[in-house]
Copies of this chain bind each other. A is one copy, B any other.
């Protein structure tokens, strides 16, 4: 396997997981700005290539963790060279402008069969992964109140903002702080989440406010959902829906970042809201933004593309 865009946080996480993957080898890792530099992943030293030097024809499977906008070109090139591709960028995700409809959206727990049959997969965004996995049991059953408003407050560790140095991401600025961003329902992942909701025949409004947390890793999404009818025991529904999924844990405790970091797991709780007149459920999902929200889910999809066991090489 090969990795494009290997020097960002998601790219590094991919390399770290792939060098320990029992069913494959890391054939190459590309990072233009660090070409020639050597990085250590576990026992393995990896020298980054320039992307122009990527031996695309030497890998059956390529992961692109290139930035949004820069990725599609390389996805096409890898595909043309005969590789199957998992694109971690937003370039091919639904809700965007391009020919995304032609590429399966790799929320594995929703689209396992399409992924297995595909040659290129668009890996979901980190926030979208947390929110959609939380909502899937309701979405596929049409349980969200028609015309209602699903309100999401999500918080992410700083690796979600990328590795490029920025003053507002320095330790002295982030430590002790907490703040929202993309205020006014303007975050890029909204289109992606809405497209999936629409595809599952949900017409509810979606309001999404992300926040920056003073932690390195992890996303936690807290979602208030108006229901078409009351749910007697929400946890039972989530448990039934995800009963056979290896990477989703339903908990009657409180999901917390601690329980998911460095794991390819979404940990979800769902509780009926007390003291309200309209039936409402509060769903909370926690993931590691770099694992289940990026590199881990990409390897889930890559395993399927390669005909391997979906869980191979993944820390559960």
Interface residues, chain A, with chain B CB atoms under 8 Å away: 9, 147, 149, 151, 153, 155, 157-159, 163-167, 169-181, 183-186, 190, 194, 205-207, 209, 211, 213-218, 220, 222, 224, 226, 254-258, 261, 269, 271-278, 280, 282, 284, 286
Contacts and interface: CB of A to CB of B under 8 A. Distances in A.
Nearest to A160: B172
Copies in the complex: 4
B175 A216 contact: yes
Contacts of A255: 179-180
Given A165-B166, A176-B215, A183 B254 contact: yes
A217 B177 CA distance: 9
Contact of A258 (B149, B177, B213, B271): B177
Contacts of A220: 178-180, 211
A173 B184 CA distance: 30
Contacts of A172: 9, 157-159, 163, 169, 216-217
Given A171-B175, A185-B282, A216-B176, A151 B224 contact: yes
Contact of A149 (B153, B215, B272, B280): B280
A284 B180 contact: yes
A254 B180 contact: yes
A179 B149 contact: no
B178 A256 contact: yes
Contacts of A209: 153, 222, 224, 282, 284
B175 A276 contact: no
A310 to B, nearest CB: 17
30 contacts: A9-B172, A149-B276, A151-B224, A153-B222, A157-B172, A158-B170, A165-B167, A169-B172, A171-B175, A173-B258, A175-B216, A177-B258, A178-B218, A178-B257, A179-B255, A180-B220, A180-B222, A180-B284, A181-B254, A183-B254, A184-B271, A184-B272, A185-B271, A185-B282, A190-B275, A205-B277, A206-B276, A207-B224, A207-B280, A211-B222
